[in-house]
Amino acid sequence: MKTPDRKAIQQFLNRIITWRPRHRYTQIVYKWSKRLLLTVFIAIILFFALNWVFPVPDNIEYSTIITDSKGEVLHAFLTKDEKWRMKTELEEISPLLRKTIIEKEDKYFYRHPGINAMAIGRAFFKNIFRWKRTSGASTITMQVARALEPKRRTYFNKVVEMFRALQLEHKYTKNEILQLYLNLVPYGGNIEGVKSASILYFKKNPDHLSLAEITALSIIPNRPSSLVMGKHNDRIVQERNRWLQQFANDKVFTQKEIADALSEPLTATRGTVPQLIPHLAWKLKQQGGDIIKTNIELNTQLKTEKLVADYSRILTLKNIRNAAVIIIDNQTHNVITYVGSANFTDTIDAGQVNGAHAIRQPGSTLKPLLYGLCIDEGLMTPKAIITDVAVNYGGYAPENYDKQFNGYVTMEYALEHSLNIPAVKSLQSLGKDQFIDKLGACNFKQIKKDQRKLGLSLILGGCGATLEELTGMYTLFANEGRYVVPRYTQEAFHQPGEGQKILTPAATFMINEILSKVNRPDFPLNWQSTEHMPKIAWKTGTSYGRRDAWSIGYNKKYTVGIWTGNFSALGIPELSGANIATPLLFKIFNTIDYDSDQEWFTQPKDCDIRMVCSETGLPPGEHCGNTVTDYFIPLISSTQFCNNLQEVAISADEKFSYCKTCQPADGYKKKWYRTVTPDMQRYFEERHIVYEKIPPHNPNCERVFKDGGPAITSPRSGSEYYISKKHPEPLQLSCNVGNDVHKVYWYINNQFYKSDESHNRQFFMPEEGPVKISCTDDKGRNRDIWIRVKYVDL
């Protein structure tokens, strides 16, 4: 195909441009058409230029509203200009609302470009011939323009209003303009918008309004001062019925719809805006937004608030004045209940403080995660043995809640009874930084921030955490060890399988089995009945000084977090997680999941069962007599066999033991002895617990013992001690030694001080300055440490 050349195209265009009609009438039409097109073109250019120079002022400030999971308003805030101006969303504009408003205000709304020329002409002639304004011609779009930019009613301002209407039609769709109208229409006082009016007058969202209610509201903007809902209801009904009759004449609605609307009474008065979930509302308001859609389930929220209020009234008798609760749906990760205090309006006990968001000491609530991580690292299993005896880590000597020691305990026993010393030992074995990294992955912001400052005491509550963080963390136990950030709003959407893996399903299952046992010391003593209560796993915690009591429980459906205490941080002797927080936890579960038939967590594929020695928790050796079943993770849990017994050569009268160097050719026998570590030896000796000790070593043995020297436990090596000059107190000397040691010798600055049995403690008054302390056992093994002593005025 031949392509036309450039010259031919130019000639064709010139013919079109220079063409003139030959007939006279055709010339006139052409002339005026050309002028009209030019005028329209200039008008369009002028409109876009003015639109660019004078953009439509549509920056509207709405009242921030908080809604529940079903879209019902729970809380709202005034705008900066003290208006109730709530935003109506497009989906809230029901067909009935749309039809009624358009029929009354602007029948041709969907047909005109923002200006109804016929209506303007009709109004102009009526106003001219009667010498006063008797008829208006404002379309819905023009009313929006007037609401956005209020001005005196003059002809010039009317022209500006029409220009703004064209701008709005250019920028928005018809439905969006109708939405703007419904958001800005005044209803008297400080009420603007149909949503504000429907909530304040009818206590419902606009999409739930009836025909009679919509019509009643639609007539108020025309006379907001003389038609006040609650004061002039009779007048409003008369005007409403007049419009309903007009709708009937125009056959806008059916006769039955009109009859129902006419017979509907009007008893509405101005009410108050809902002020529910105040703590969460203020928290979410800081994020910004006109409509914040939460996942709060109102029925569960109200039931929980009543339980908290009733229970707090009982607690005030013990001078415990506040509580906070969070409930999370474990399937959706939605926060369905949020109670920040017992009473938000209580100014005496600081009810405005958000107890769910406040940073408090978490007590023992972090222990389940620690033990789960230790299981995943292969450090222990539920039946693994831990020694619960006195320890000292560089001056830090943790104690149990009851100030007692329990000797050999299993990991599950330590968790059930919330023992502190085994937890500190486990954290030392796992590593503090690794544990904090996992907590950081669970969104513990303050703990992650303080990582460098924190020590081993963090597992006992020596750190800062919130109820929000703790409750969110516990949801991972209901989701096979996967942590998903709790969803406070509907915008925070999660995909299935989303989240971060913190624990394996096997470790999670083991922790769930331990925490779901009811034969525990933290089971509340005064709890009435658990016959219909759903099966749950829970953990309690009590902070140092009894300032905070925690109880966090979960099953497959819900995770519930409880905090009780005083916002003043006042410690109460009776305050404990078991007896104060847990009864409220049980009450809530009995309310929201009563008589549930929900199945419990099943054993995952990566979790297996094996027999272990009851004395060590390790796979049994050939001499282990007592075994128990234990969960373990194949290829991860330790496969080391139990070596709890050692064979020792002893004299026939069992007075001496022999090593290979001094063992005689005959006249001896061999006997199995239980391996007892030095710290357990001290535990047994101090409590006069009889155990079979290895006899003293052959005194005639010429072997030099190099390993296994005494470990000095007090004083601490490298420490600095301050002693009062007025009331000086001596320092304690103590050590841990092997099972074969019976006597130790103490030296101070290379001078012999005392000798005594290995388990006895000695005391001495040191000199000021550096002090060398030496301890030698009866095998000749020695250990030296240095300390520094200062005498001060105290």
- Same domain, yes or no, for 479 and 615? no
Answer yes or no: is 779 within a domain. Answer: yes
**Which residue range forms the structural domain that includes residue 16?**
6-53
Answer yes or no: is 179 within a domain. Answer: yes
* Separation in Å, CA 403 to CA 83, 98, 397, 419, 542: 60, 72, 12, 10, 15
Residue 500 has pLDDT above 60, yes or no: yes
Q: How large is the C-alpha radius of gyration of the chain?
A: 41
Query: Which has more pLDDT, 119 or 145?
Result: 145
Residue 41 has pLDDT above 80, yes or no: no
Q: What is the mean pLDDT of the chain?
A: 87
- Residues 558 and 538 sit within 8 Å (Cβ to Cβ): no
Instruction: Give the pLDDT band of residue 594 (cuts 50, 70, 90).
Output: confident
- Same domain, yes or no, for 10 and 135? no
Taking residue 223's Cβ as centre, other Cβ atoms within 10 Å add up to 14
- Residues 507 and 490 sit within 8 Å (Cβ to Cβ): no
- Same domain, yes or no, for 49 and 70? no
Answer yes or no: is 451 within a domain. Answer: yes
Answer yes or no: is 268 within a domain. Answer: no
- Same domain, yes or no, for 124 and 243? yes
- Same domain, yes or no, for 581 and 624? no
By mean pLDDT, which of 113-117, 619-623, 702-706 is the weakest?
Answer: 702-706
- Same domain, yes or no, for 214 and 242? yes
251: left (phi over 0), alpha (psi -120 to 50) or beta: left
Instruction: For residue range 225-279, list pLDDT tens digits in order.
Output: 788 888 888 898 998 999 999 998 888 889 999 999 999 999 888 888 999 999 9
- Same domain, yes or no, for 47 and 70? no
C-alpha 783/C-alpha 614 separation (Å) is 35
- Same domain, yes or no, for 35 and 167? no
Q: What is the pLDDT of residue 504?
A: 95
Is pTM beyond 0.85? Reply is: no
Q: Is the dihedral of CA 239, 242, 244, 250 positive or negative?
A: negative
Answer yes or no: is 289 within a domain. Answer: no
Both structure tokens of 791: 């005498």
Q: What is the pLDDT of residue 477?
A: 97
Angle between helices 95-105 and 174-184 (to 10 degrees): 80
The burial class, CB within 10 Å (0-12 / 13-18 / 19+), for 5 is: exposed
- Same domain, yes or no, for 504 and 616? no
Answer yes or no: is 670 within a domain. Answer: no
CATH of the domain at 492: 3.40.710.10
List, as own/partner pairs, every contact residues 42-51 make where C-beta atoms lie below 8 angstroms and the sequence separation is at least 24, other chains included: 47/163, 47/166, 50/163, 51/167, 51/170
- Residues 460 and 420 sit within 8 Å (Cβ to Cβ): yes
Number of domains in the chain: 5
Q: What is the pLDDT of residue 244?
A: 92
Instruction: For residue range 517-570, list pLDDT tens digits in order.
Output: 877 776 776 555 555 678 899 999 999 999 999 999 999 999 999 999 999 989
C-alpha 588/C-alpha 328 separation (Å) is 13
Residue 135 has pLDDT above 50, yes or no: no
Answer yes or no: is 775 within a domain. Answer: yes
Answer yes or no: is 333 within a domain. Answer: no
CATH of the domain at 102: 1.10.3810.10
Residue 755 has pLDDT above 80, yes or no: yes
- Same domain, yes or no, for 378 and 409? yes
Query: Which residue, of 244, 263, 282, is where some domain finishes?
Result: 263
Instruction: For residue range 434-463, list pLDDT tens digits in order.
Output: 999 999 999 999 999 999 999 999 999 999
**Residue corresponding to tokens 């096997």:** 506
Instruction: For residue range 398-412, list pLDDT tens digits in order.
Output: 999 888 999 999 999
- Same domain, yes or no, for 124 and 42? no
State the average pLDDT over residues 496-520.
88
Query: Which residue, of 563, 592, 621, is where some domain finishes?
Result: 592
- Residues 523 and 328 sit within 8 Å (Cβ to Cβ): no
By mean pLDDT, which of 40-54, 202-216, 449-463 is the weakest?
Answer: 40-54
**Residue corresponding to tokens 């800081």:** 286
Q: What is the pLDDT of residue 328?
A: 97
Query: Which residue, of 263, 287, 310, is where some domain finishes?
Result: 263
- Same domain, yes or no, for 394 and 522? yes
Residue 1 has pLDDT above 80, yes or no: no
